């Protein structure tokens, strides 16, 4: 299936996050689950207990060409991104608007900032200006470590990159500028208690 941006350019998935099939994490604690799977389970848990209403945002795609090889099956052959997507998740918690991006990396020593896009930084900045909560949930998959970083801290590292500095955030910097979340069974990533500290 060919997916194109609104300007007609072809979508080419980044090498760090292939679109077709992500390499799964097969550690004992989270067998085969991706960060998105874990967050979706966590958000369902919060919703069932009435703690928060947070959902994954749908990707804005315009379907252009569909083929019907049989009566019961449809195959999308061509689609376009209508607009660049903003962040992965949004919703309401404790009377506050919550908006965050979720990223994972197999790197053990740093998080590459190329995994974040300028329009996402702009969007999170607008959320914060309206007194909403914007942050990044980051998973180091090879280390099984999870962090939550306020947008204001992320913005400092982003601006450093724009000024010609590092194009990544070191693990040490993440440890200093973030709060680590210990994975659990129910919910898999209990990030709401951390929001009180943000």
Q: Which residue has the tokens 């097969």?
A: 26
> How many CA atoms does the CB half-sphere of 6 hold within 13 Å?
6
The answer on whether 25 is annotated among ligand-binding residues is: no
Listed in sequence order, the DSSP H helices in 19-89 are 35-49
The answer on whether 34 is annotated among ligand-binding residues is: no
Rounded to 5°, the CA angle 166-168-174 comes to: 115
Rounded Cα gap, residues 94 and 60, in angstroms: 28
Q: Are 193 and 187 in contact, with CB atoms under 8 Å apart?
A: no
The answer on whether 86 is annotated among ligand-binding residues is: yes
Q: Are 109 and 146 in contact, with CB atoms under 8 Å apart?
A: no
Q: Which residue has the tokens 């659990």?
A: 184
The answer on whether 101 is annotated among ligand-binding residues is: yes
Q: Which residue has the tokens 């967050």?
A: 39
Residues of the binding site for Mg(2+): 86, 88, 101, 120
Residues of the binding site: 86, 88, 101, 120
């Amino acid at each position: 299936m060919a997916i194109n941006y609104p300007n007609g350019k072809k979508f080419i998935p980044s090498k760090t996050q292939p679109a077709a099939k992500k390499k799964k994490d097969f550690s004992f604690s989270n067998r085969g689950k991706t960060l998105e799977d874990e967050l979706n389970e966590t958000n369902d848990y919060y919703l069932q207990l009435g703690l928060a209403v947070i959902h994954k945002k749908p990707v804005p795609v315009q379907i252009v060409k569909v083929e019907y090889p049989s009566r019961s099956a449809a195959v999308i052959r061509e689609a376009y991104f209508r607009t660049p997507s903003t962040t992965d998740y949004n919703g309401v918690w404790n009377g506050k608007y919550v908006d965050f991006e979720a990223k994972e990396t197999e790197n053990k020593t740093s998080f590459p900032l190329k995994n974040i896009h300028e329009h996402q930084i702009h969007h999170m900045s607008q959320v914060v200006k309206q007194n909403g909560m914007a942050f990044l949930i980051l998973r180091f998959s090879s280390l099984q470590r999870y962090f939550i970083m306020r947008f204001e801290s992320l913005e400092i590292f982003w601006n450093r990159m724009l000024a010609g500095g590092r194009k990544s955030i070191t693990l040490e910097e993440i440890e200093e500028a973030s709060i680590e979340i210990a994975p659990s069974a129910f919910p898999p990533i209990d990030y709401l208690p951390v929001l009180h500290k943000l």
